[in-house]
Amino acid sequence: MERILVTGAGGQIGTELVAALRERYGASRVIASDRRSLADIEPFEQLDVTDGKAVLRLAGKYKVDTIIHLAAMLSATAEAQPLAAWHVNMGGLLNVLEAARELNCSVFVPSSIAVFGPGAEPNGTPQTAVQRPITMYGIHKTAGELLCDYYYLKYGVDTRGLRFPGLISHAAPPGGGTTDYAVEMYVEAVKKKAYTSYIAEGTFLDMMYMPDALNATIRLMEADPARLKHRNAYNVSAMSVDPAAIAGSIRRRIPDFALDYAPDPLRQSIAESWPNSLDTSCAEEEWGFRPQYDLDRMTEDMLDHLMRREA
Ligand code: AKB
């Protein structure tokens, strides 16, 4: 990766990935872009990914060889605004793939655990499993994986991707996702020692701490292409947890932390359609995926950062 364009740089992943990429490759080689204007992250360009000409113009202007396409609407927002989400998620991806085809760029696109629906094995869902998602976001992510395969097979575009689980971070808040409850629980534990979960007791979902997500992204993009047997997105995860498991981990530091439940029908139904846990062995074998943070190590680090911020 010589010169990298990051779309959605102001989002939960983008905020930290731009910083990590700049540390590794040098600030001037990582061009941040977002629909909103962002201060203090030069080089930065405002970019609406639904404008195909603008995507091509920007990638050409900076002569990038890699596009990391993060701009997207997440599951709960996509379910509430399906047409707008289709426009952003599918239109944006197509514009990025077209620019990559024209300019000979590699592309990273995050996929999601949302690509799986009720037909897939819910425990240890394998890399290749039935993909019949029943959410709008899951449909976008599945179609996105197929589009990436298509551009790779038909045009030779070097497409790579990860099926991210819920990502937990202290730096930038997630927005509009189903797994956001996990981040909210840590924030509220520090502020109020109490949290009401919109996800019901006993609902297990995969999660991963942001440093592991950043490392996985960089490692996959630097991997020898000859080793990659899968050009659709790889299953990745570091833990399978329900709200009570996170609360239990938080109580090791905040013993009087109280958790109760008020499930939100929309997000609960999305969560129930997703796997409880993914099998990540393909990612481990093909490019050495190995997360460093389990639940308790992640909790320690999250609480350290959030408590320092509150102090
Ligand atoms: C969401 O909840 O929408 C995302 C995801 C799992 O893709 N965090």
> What is the number of other CB atoms lying within 10 angstroms of the CB of residue 294?
12
State the 10-residue block means of pLDDT for the chain, 311 residues long: 95 97 97 94 96 98 98 96 98 98 98 97 97 98 97 97 98 92 98 98 98 98 92 94 98 98 97 98 97 98 96 86
Confidence (pLDDT) at 1: 81
Asked if 63 and 2 touch (Cβ cutoff 8 Å), the reply is no
Q: Is 137 a catalytic residue?
A: yes
Mutate to test the pocket of ligand 1, among 179, 210, 267, 278 (most ligand atoms within 8 A of CB): 179
Sign of the torsion angle spanned by Cα atoms 250, 255, 256, 261:
positive
User: Quick check: CB of 133 below 6 Å from ligand 1?
Assistant: no
pLDDT value at position 232? 78
Q: Is 74 in the pocket of ligand 1 (CB under 6 A)?
A: yes
- Is the CB of residue 75 below 6 angstroms from any atom belonging to ligand 1? yes
Task: Establish whether residue 113 lines the binding site of ligand 1, counting it when its CB lies within 6 angstroms of any ligand atom.
Answer: yes
pLDDT of residue 40: 86
Q: Which two tokens stand for residue 231?
A: 């050009």
Query: DSSP class of residue 63?
Result: T
Question: Helix (H) and strand (E) counts for the chain?
Answer: 12, 12
In whole angstroms, how far apart are CA 239 and each of 118, 164, 229? 20, 12, 24
Q: Is the CB of residue 86 less than 8 Å from the CB of residue 136?
A: yes
Q: Which atom of ligand 1 is nearest to the CA of 112?
A: 7
Evaluate whether 271 touches 178 at the Cβ level (below 8 Å).
yes
What was the pLDDT predicted at 298? 98
Indicate the top mutation candidate among 112, 125, 208 to test ligand 1's pocket, ranked by most ligand atoms within 8 A of CB.
Answer: 112
What length is written for the chain?
311
ipTM tops 0.90: yes
In the three-class reduction of DSSP (H, G, I as helix; E, B as strand; rest coil), residue 134 is classed as coil
Angle made by CA atoms 54, 56, 57, in degrees to the nearest 5: 60
pLDDT for residue 190: 97
For ligand 1, the distance from its centroid to the CA atom of residue 177, given in whole angstroms, is: 5
Which residue, by CA, sits nearest to atom 7 of ligand 1? 112
Separation CA 206–CA 295 (nearest Å): 11
CA-CA distance, 11 to 252, in Å (whole number)? 30
* Pocket mutation for ligand 1, best pick of 13, 75, 266 (most atoms within 8 Å of C-beta): 75
